[in-house]
């Protein structure tokens, strides 16, 4: 018989036939690292994969000796995590290209080329990408490149720990306040050596779920792959696997092997054994919003464009005159009140008192006298609002003060109107909740800042027993496994699709912002004081 404890199989009966479908890190054993070695005074602590925080990966100093070894030990895949980078200390001469020593090589996929297995690679030179393949038989020393991205522990466990190796990581952001339940020392910001503890994922002939077997289970097994018909086993697919399928393969019928966690719709409906129709895959736009509050942690949301609630504007805050220039628009004049005094060191520029009100005009240059010499600097032209008149003044762009917006616009806006008419970030509060959803989580939030529009990957699914409504399921934020059923699907117009406001964790918020912004240039810094 089979016994189960804490979601893991603890005993397998003699003669049981199982098909191994994968290995997965179940948890991590962490030790504090000093000079790339375990600290003598560091106790080992167990970290679950959902342990909070963001981490930087420290490049492994031990080289790989061939491309084949890299493909065996390092995760290479179609997602943005599965493109590891290496360099060779020696030149690599190919038929049409020479890879220079120390040049960063990005590995993107493994495939058969002219009857030989090879890795599709690329290098970037002068902002131009050059593609080539390296055969698995290619030998030499290959070292990991430094990685400046940040990751959650779960991402590191899935993509960034090579098989048969440990991984050193540096804590980048704790995201949470320390408490006594945290296994790491208070104010810790150093490096950790992570040792993975694996579990084996398997399927059995007469079970429709995925079996999880801890790697330290004391059991003897025999490889019968060559003498057994493995097609009789189910083939589990993750949502990412389903999304990789071509659009022509949709719609499809599937049965859930492992459902997602969560008590809200639709996740509470997606339980093991339920049959679903996956109508199509697509990308959809969301607005990333955060709760406006001075203390942390803030709540974060992804709001679909179909949200039917209405919003009223809330005042924005601007720490510098430079921020006023960024927020200025042609559509309406920006009216602000100073919340912090500023004493100008130059007579040509205006000194600001708390409570002064301004209408922001435009950015221009102005000549000032600085240490006996004339100097041209960027300034912000404004009109100071007096009791019965307006006074033209110039504020230095480097001015560090404080301003709060004065809102004259009392109109109620829908989400798509705000995205069309205003520049984000933009502050709002819900004035009319969305009556089409049972519980509008945004209505209870006193203030929201719309930060940016993002594009994400979704699957449209519905229940086979009740196909009158369908749901959007985010591919990269829902852990769920299915297997496809061979039944044909009647080609029907997709039913009415229900979209939900998705509340995301702080780690997910950082991930969304990181990947949305990784191709963008950082905003220019405000001008400095003249020197």
Output Rg (C-alpha) for the chain, integer angstroms. Answer: 29
The C-alpha atoms of residue 357 and residue 405 are separated, in whole angstroms, by 10
The C-alpha atoms of residue 144 and residue 34 are separated, in whole angstroms, by 20
Predicted model pTM: 0.66
* CA pseudo-torsion sign 249, 253, 257, 263: positive
Question: Which tokens belong to 427?
Answer: 């502050």
Q: Where are the domains of the chain?
A: 1-59+148-234, 64-145, 236-314+407-521, 317-405
The C-alpha atoms of residue 184 and residue 43 are separated, in whole angstroms, by 10
pLDDT for residue 524: 46
Q: Where are the alpha helices (DSSP H) in 348-495?
A: 415-421
Task: Please give the share of the chain, as a percent, with pLDDT higher than 70.
Answer: 89
pLDDT for residue 135: 92
What DSSP string runs through 61-126?
SSPEEEHHHHHHHS---SSTTS--EEE-SS-EE-SS-EEPTT--EEEEEEEEETTEEEEEEEEEET
Determine contact, residues 70/141, Cβ cutoff 8 Å.
no
Determine contact, residues 187/178, Cβ cutoff 8 Å.
yes
Burial class (CB in 10 A: 0-12, 13-18, 19+), 216: exposed
Which residues lie below 8 Å from residue 315, measured CB to CB, with a gap of 6+? 404, 405, 406, 407, 427
Residue scoring higher pLDDT (231 or 420): 420
The C-alpha atoms of residue 307 and residue 472 are separated, in whole angstroms, by 13
What residue has token string 């040509």?
A: 348
Determine contact, residues 170/78, Cβ cutoff 8 Å.
no
For 261-315, write each residue's pLDDT tens digit: 776 777 778 888 899 999 999 999 999 999 998 776 789 999 999 999 999 999 9
pLDDT reading at 231 higher than 80: no
Determine contact, residues 481/293, Cβ cutoff 8 Å.
no
The CATH T-level fold of domain 317-405 is: SH3 type barrels. (2.30.30)
Tell me the average pLDDT across 163-171: 89
pLDDT for residue 469: 81
Q: Classify 28 as helix, strand or coil.
A: strand
Which of 146, 44, 39, 144 minimizes the C-alpha distance to 88?
A: 144
What residue has token string 């400046």?
A: 148
pLDDT reading at 188 higher than 80: no
Which of 290, 264, 274 minimizes the C-alpha distance to 512?
A: 290
Question: Which tokens belong to 376?
Answer: 């041209």
The C-alpha atoms of residue 80 and residue 84 are separated, in whole angstroms, by 9
Residue scoring higher pLDDT (492 or 520): 492
The C-alpha atoms of residue 25 and residue 270 are separated, in whole angstroms, by 24
Burial class (CB in 10 A: 0-12, 13-18, 19+), 353: exposed
Q: Where are the alpha helices (DSSP H) in 360-505?
A: 415-421
Taking CA atoms, 402 is separated from 336, 364, 379, in Å, by 10, 20, 16
pLDDT for residue 41: 63
Q: Helix count (H) and strand count (E) of the chain?
A: 6, 34
Q: Classify 457 as helix, strand or coil.
A: strand
pLDDT reading at 177 higher than 60: no
Which of 80, 86, 83, 98 minimizes the C-alpha distance to 59?
A: 86
Banded pLDDT at 519 (limits 50, 70, 90): very low
Tell me the average pLDDT across 389-405: 87
pLDDT reading at 208 higher than 80: no
Determine contact, residues 197/26, Cβ cutoff 8 Å.
yes
The C-alpha atoms of residue 269 and residue 259 are separated, in whole angstroms, by 9
| Averaged pLDDT of the chain | 84
pLDDT reading at 361 higher than 50: yes
**Residue 337 C-alpha from the chain's centroid:** 36
E-assigned strand segments in 406-468: 426-432, 448-463
pLDDT reading at 372 higher than 80: no
pLDDT reading at 132 higher than 80: yes
For 447-478, write each residue's pLDDT tens digit: 999 999 998 889 999 888 877 788 899 998 88
Tell me the average pLDDT across 7-31: 79
pLDDT reading at 490 higher than 80: no
Q: Which of 224-228, 384-388, 510-514 has the lowest mean pLDDT?
A: 510-514
pLDDT for residue 65: 95
Cis peptide bond upstream of 266, omega within 30: yes
């Amino acid at each position: 018989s089979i016994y189960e404890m804490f979601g893991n199989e603890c005993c397998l009966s003699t003669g049981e036939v199982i098909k191994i479908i994968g290995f997965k890190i179940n948890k991590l054993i962490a030790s504090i690292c000093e000079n790339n070695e375990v600290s003598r005074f560091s106790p080992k602590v167990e970290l679950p994969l959902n342990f909070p925080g963001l981490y930087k990966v420290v490049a492994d100093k031990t080289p790989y000796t061939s491309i084949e070894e890299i493909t065996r030990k390092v995760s290479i895949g179609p997602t943005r995590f599965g493109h590891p980078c290496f360099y060779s200390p020696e030149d690599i001469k190919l038929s049409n290209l020479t890879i220079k020593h120390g040049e960063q090589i990005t590995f993107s996929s493994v495939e058969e080329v002219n009857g030989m297995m090879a890795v599709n690679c690329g290098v970037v030179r002068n902002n131009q990408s050059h593609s080539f393949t390296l055969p698995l038989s290619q030998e030499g020393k290959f070292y990991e490149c430094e990685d400046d991205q940040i990751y959650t522990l779960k991402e590191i466990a899935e993509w960034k720990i090579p098989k048969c190796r440990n991984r050193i990581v540096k804590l980048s952001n704790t995201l949470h306040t320390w408490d006594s339940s945290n296994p790491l020392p208070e104010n810790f910001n150093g490096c950790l050596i992570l040792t993975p503890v694996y579990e084996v994922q398997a399927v059995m002939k007469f079970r429709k779920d995925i079996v999880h077997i801890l790697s330290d289970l004391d059991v003897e097994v025999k490889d019968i792959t060559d003498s057994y018909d493995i097609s009789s086993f189910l083939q589990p697919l993750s949502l990412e696997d389903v999304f990789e399928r071509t659009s022509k393969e949709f719609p499809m019928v599937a049965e859930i092997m492992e459902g997602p966690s969560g008590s809200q719709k639709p996740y509470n409906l997606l339980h093991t054994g339920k049959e679903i129709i996956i109508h199509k895959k697509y990308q959809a736009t969301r607005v990333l919003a955060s709760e406006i509050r001075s203390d942390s942690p803030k709540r974060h949301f992804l709001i679909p464009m179909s949200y039917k609630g209405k919003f009223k504007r809330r005042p924005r805050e601007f720490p510098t005159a430079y921020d006023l220039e960024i927020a200025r628009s042609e559509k309406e004049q920006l009216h602000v009140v100073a919340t912090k005094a500023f004493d100008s060191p130059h007579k040509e520029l205006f000194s600001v008192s708390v409570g002064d009100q301004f209408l922001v005009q435009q950015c221009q240059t102005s000549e000032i006298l600085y240490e006996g010499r004339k100097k041209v600097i960027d300034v912000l032209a404004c009109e100071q609002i007096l009791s019965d008149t307006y006074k033209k003044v110039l504020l230095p762009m480097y001015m560090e003060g404080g301003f709060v917006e004065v809102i004259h616009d009392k109109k109620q806006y829908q989400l798509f109107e705000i995205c069309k008419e205003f520049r984000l970030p933009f502050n709002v509060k819900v004035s009319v909740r969305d009556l089409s959803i049972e519980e509008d989580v945004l209505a209870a939030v006193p203030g929201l800042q719309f930060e940016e529009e993002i594009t994400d990957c979704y699957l449209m699914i519905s229940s086979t027993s009740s196909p009158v409504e369908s749901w959007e399921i985010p591919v990269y934020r829902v852990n769920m496994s299915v297997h496809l059923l061979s039944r044909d699907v009647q080609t029907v117009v997709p039913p009415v699709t229900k979209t939900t406001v998705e509340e995301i964790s702080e780690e997910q918020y950082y991930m969304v912002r990181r990947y949305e912004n990784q191709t963008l240039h950082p905003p220019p810094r405000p001008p400095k004081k003249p020197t």
